[in-house]
Structure 1
């Protein structure tokens, strides 16, 4: 593997894979990935989980003081603060949120699966019935940016699925008097979410997973949830992994990433802008360009140098683009490019090629695919109608983005009458004996005795 960086935007590495073909194992070992190890935080996170589980609200309040620098009397945000945040919201932002909600809800409702009913014979029916989880805990991060869009992306599919109860957690902000960011509160109000907690990090995950009893406080405690969804930092991701099984989780999200498959027809200005748009999230964010055009690669470097210098979060973007997780990968042709992209399994994959729709149809592993020049990732982040909570770190090889099914359970219902059972009784008995589980067969045979 050759790694180089020319004098134009030198921090972004080039991996020259032309003339080489890798096995899947070799490819996975060579793909650029962020050096993030959540295992190193596991002990600290487990300690936080244990404290919240056993000490309840007292632990939550002490941890808020330690990590967020705020002193709270309770995590629950008063209803009046939600309304005030919405009343004071910039009308243009409100309009944008409402449009995002409308589009996301339309797509989410279209995902709701129908029950499946199969009749084998008269009196023999098997049904798969979809049932929503009862209660969902939605996590919305704070940190370097404000994410009202994540409120929408998590809440709308849960609501479309029919979840009865939604609770939202977002870190308390010192500059807002210990409340979550007001835009987060306003988005919650727009969506009809009435239970919002000022809590973040691993402690919020623990509170949702195990619940918090507080019988003596008129505001009550925190009822445990069935599913926790939403992105967060390495502490949140680790906490979700540690409580998985106690509750369901959507995914263990890592740093955001974009891959772009492009040929000589791509516009280098668009490519550079889209790489920057993801790199501004986090210093560990990944931006990878896969192309068979050295000329495009060079043009993108020139664009990056110009655009990074003028973007707001220049230092953060430079760090992300200069990390081991970001690179330009040169390939022989689009066939090799598709092989690389399907091995990388990007959270976000843009396809900017001749006949982009046809090329995109051959993608088998990605959280979301953005086709052509006018479908940038930022469109999906806010207003495409798709969901931006997507699998990262290569997990798109086996995982899906957040959707209605995240909040649904499939229950199988078996209905056989006496005649229908008698028609398969012999098969059940013979299979039970073959597995040396004769009582299984007896449970059928006893129903055949007259």
Structure 2
């Protein structure tokens, strides 16, 4: 904008604001403003009293659904605004009956504005992000205020006059604001639709878990991409130049974001080859746990101690991964133990197998087996093998249960578990010499 245009714009805006203020300074308008301020003070007082009583009443509620409690809490926080709107409407109805309509129109406008503000408070609760919710709240408050006071045309003209031009391209503040609003609405709609679609796809047992995640990711990319480009196109942006620009930017980012792109491609490969899927129990290095989610860049793995590891998808492709539940849920575990040479090996093997069967998580359809693996210095060494189908329940704890069952069974049957013993003999004629410390 030229300096002269900026000066003319500021002068025109100042004249409009001055004319609006002069209209408010009329006697009956001042009376209505005073009445509005009195109702505001009364609403704050009454709202605090009612809020305290309502809070005590809500504490006594039990067994109510969460959505009802949240709704009551939202109303309780906005009671002063609700009371103010009710008081303004009551005052307007009384003034409209006892005096001329022109002497109560300002009260009616403010009552409509406050009522709209109260409705906005519940609409913005659909926005999850706190900072974004605050921005949407102030934007809607400004919109409804300008709408009821008849200032939308003036605001649109003012924003449209603030613009930058590059040849035939003109970008105004009004166009930018429309783009943000339209794109924001479309993205919100896309998020809600993607969430509902994801829920339904995850409930479909006819589709494999990895294919479900792939479909969900594809739906999300399609919806968000369509929302962005449709939003830009709806407000008149030329997408041809944007395509050229995005191509140039893509070439530059391709070199700097090789790892990110590698993780994205690896994530798609994992979903396509079904090597890993949500719910699988895997081991990667020292990390053992089950997969919660497969993201676009990483996989979320939760261990038995509650830690959540974010493993890049590239590591799952290039590294050696042990998938305990890839083709089926059967997992075989081995434990080693030894008994004294004086115990019958046949009896030991039978007792060990029965002890393993007594553990709840050990399968009896694939019965445990026990074999001698060697004759040690102090014991006969055995291996006990058994199967489970719930590796997500942990491996260390089921091994511990089997060891404890072996201990009880051996104690009940007189089987001894030897341990290394050392015997010191003092030869005849030897003399114990103690070295003192000076």
Normalising by structure 2, what TM-score?
A: 0.20
Does 1 or 2 have the higher relative contact order (CA < 8 Å, sep 6+)? 1
More helix as a share of residues:
2
